[in-house]
A and B are shown apart, each in its own frame.
Chain A
């Protein structure tokens, strides 16, 4: 038997949704097997069944030809199955060695020195280097990913499942990751990678299984396939990749940053004298590896962080004193980086999540004219802004503090429909949606209600190809209507494909490639790593 994993006829139903419908998966020993499919295709569900975190309604699982039935993930771990989920399970407050051992400590009395020896051995085997005593909080995303892989090795996993392993990694880190995965297979491991990135599949994997709508579409050797074939299997139709051409952006400058500096979470200067302009109708792409200051830039633009230095002008007006709520009211919209932490409230129903960030917009509150409130706001704004008060007070006109439930329901429906969020009803909690569907919802919300400046941080994270294309198309449409957008992505190709202009960030500084090299992949790449500095 050369099959490491054999899953037959796996079915799983959640309420009214058939997540998996007699799915089969056969993974050859010592290979890298890619599992691809759209959001909600059932990839993660299938892997959770293999990992013992979910029990299938029907179907069998066999490891190395031996049938097994895991009641929970610890049984799966004991049988040699390990999984790294999309969200790393590393505890930042404790050190790397403790993270490595957590849940699989060698014996009742810990010998840290012998544990450390074994940890060093494992790391050396993979060519990794770790400061075991350092807090895990100091790890970069790729360092965290490496630690997760070592955790699997520590538990002596023979079958390793990696869910979207490169979602947070820069291109060079992704390459390095696949190199170490290859090395692992040579040492006897079998690896299943769940991913959306087809180039990775074509380049690094041996077999591929495609799921669509909870069913098998195809399983094939990667060498027998190509990109368009895979894309068609995934979405079930031929893809038309060419983005529509838009007229060039106007000369009107919407947002201008001059010498903007801001501090990061740890008090370090993470944004160093950054200057740029965004024109009306323009999509500005910000390239760079994770942690180059993109996060702090977005927080400063949204008003969550007060810049320590520099100017920020929105339509010629100083933006610095404006609060987050002021900016949202003026049409700022953000697609957040970490939707669980920053974008949604998991326990709340979709309908309540739909209003988050839009809840003060006049169209979301009851339209009773309250003159006293308007007069008060006029007065308050006059004190703060002088002559501009009349214009600024317009949004307060007729606005009340009472929620307009009908408007909220309509809005939730519109947001869900915009990117085909698959949900079991608007009153279901957010947590009942799959990750990709949550991202669709968050993106739909950010692009609703007349956005003026769209701040998108890795907007396609967790989205499949067609949803991601639709998202960028919608951003282009909004920009055609007069909005502007700033897109941060760690995937340079994604930016090259979708943005009008690309700048690069490296170590808190921003650089723009010269005019004649504006679309030169290598030139931008050099700026991203600071090679030209």
Chain B
């Protein structure tokens, strides 16, 4: 019992410190809804019931969660090596495009595998320049990945509207994938639908946790992220680690795009991603230090995305307000973390 007492104190103190920040955040969120001319209580209850209240709603939430989770994992892997991969959006787009192309030509379960591999390869190739530039020339990955994002958005847009455009379609979109490579959602119970993409995401979270925290390679990667100089003195080849983690991050980003095509969209089109890669940054930041934190974090963002649609149709709250709320959440979290770091000093 003696040992418990200081621990309780340790828990209570930071909570007290966080309280004012949380209060401000709640105030801002309430203010945001008031600004949109709805009662915050009604808005929040609509958000919650539409996202979690019914099996259909929850299925939709899970559908939104899947790409955010995988994009979040992609960001997380790079973050652990000390790299801020802003380029997941671009890697996701090229991955989706590659999978959409592969899906037109391959069939069956081999085809599914081929599509996923094509997506991962595309994402990997898209991330590699950023990793190499960082490792060999110390060019900052934030700059290079933002540039690569722009190239990815514009290139896939051009390809989907030009050389690879579905001739039967009015809008810029590719020919739909073969039905045999689609990965439709399956029923859990009578009404809840779960997508294979989500299952793969969950497996990835477990796999990444094991890799980062139970293997020597993961240890080296985390050491590189935490203190590259100390890692070098410990015999870690930091350059290799940077390239590896950036490559892995890109491959996972590409996988997120490929799964989105196979599981939900069936083809690639202009405006394919509503910013999954960028929301993935928020997911990974909010997850904190543990990969398991990605799960609640991705679910939260998924629920917000689903709730935003419902609030728009039911209450007329513009979707933008939900993105404001998302931003406030991340800023609040950043403030809490920042304060912790200062208190540590």
Q: Could you list which residues of chain A lie within 8 angstroms of chain B, going by C-beta atoms?
A: 15-16, 302, 304, 323-325, 327-329, 334, 336, 341-348, 352, 355-357, 359-360, 365, 401-403, 431
Contacts and interface: CB of A to CB of B under 8 A. Distances in A.
A403 B235 contact: no
Contacts of A334: 233
B217 interface: yes
A324 B235 contact: yes
A343 B226 CA distance: 12
A342 B229 CA distance: 5
A342 B231 CA distance: 8
Interface string B321-345: 0000000000000000000000010
Contact of A328 (B223, B234, B344): B234
B289 to A, nearest CB: 9
B226 A357 contact: no
Contacts of A324: 232-237
B214 A403 contact: yes
Nearest to A329: B235
- Please indicate which of the listed interface residues B215, B231, B235, B344 has the most CB atoms of chain A within 10 Å of its own CB: B235
A359 B232 CA distance: 13
B342 to A, nearest CB: 12
A92 to B, nearest CB: 15
B226 A359 contact: no
Given A341-B229, A403-B214, 18 more contacts: A15-B6, A302-B233, A323-B235, A324-B233, A324-B235, A325-B236, A336-B233, A341-B230, A342-B233, A344-B230, A346-B227, A352-B219, A357-B233, A359-B219, A360-B216, A360-B235, A403-B215, A431-B344
B64 interface: no
B344 to A, nearest CB: 7
B220 interface: yes
Minimum-distance CB pairs A-B, first 3: A325-B235, A357-B234, A324-B235
Nearest to B345: A431
Contacts of B231: 356
Given A356-B223, A401-B217, A323 B237 contact: yes
A352 B234 CA distance: 12
A522 to B, nearest CB: 36
A178 to B, nearest CB: 31
A412 to B, nearest CB: 14
Given A345-B223, A345-B226, A403-B219, A356 B214 contact: no
Contacts of B227: 341, 344-346
Given A360-B216, A401-B216, A403-B214, A347 B235 contact: no
Given A342-B229, A401-B215, A402-B214, A356 B234 contact: yes
A357 B219 contact: no
Contacts of A327: 235
Nearest to B218: A403
Contacts of A325: 235-237
30 contacts: A15-B6, A16-B6, A304-B233, A323-B235, A324-B232, A324-B233, A324-B235, A324-B236, A325-B235, A328-B234, A329-B235, A341-B227, A342-B233, A343-B230, A343-B233, A344-B227, A345-B226, A352-B219, A356-B230, A356-B231, A357-B234, A359-B216, A359-B219, A359-B234, A401-B215, A401-B216, A401-B217, A402-B215, A402-B216, A403-B215
B192 to A, nearest CB: 37
A329 B215 CA distance: 18
Contacts of B235: 323-325, 327-329, 357, 360
Contacts of B233: 302, 304, 324, 334, 336, 342-343, 357
A124 to B, nearest CB: 36
Contacts of A15: 6
Contacts of A328: 234-235
B52 to A, nearest CB: 35
A199 B217 CA distance: 48
B4 to A, nearest CB: 13
Contacts of B214: 402-403
A410 B234 CA distance: 19
B230 A342 contact: yes
Contacts of A302: 233
**Most chain B CB neighbours (cut-off 10 Å) among A342, A356, A365:** A356
A343 B6 CA distance: 31
Contacts of B229: 341-342
Contacts of B6: 15-16
A348 B224 CA distance: 12
Nearest to A357: B234
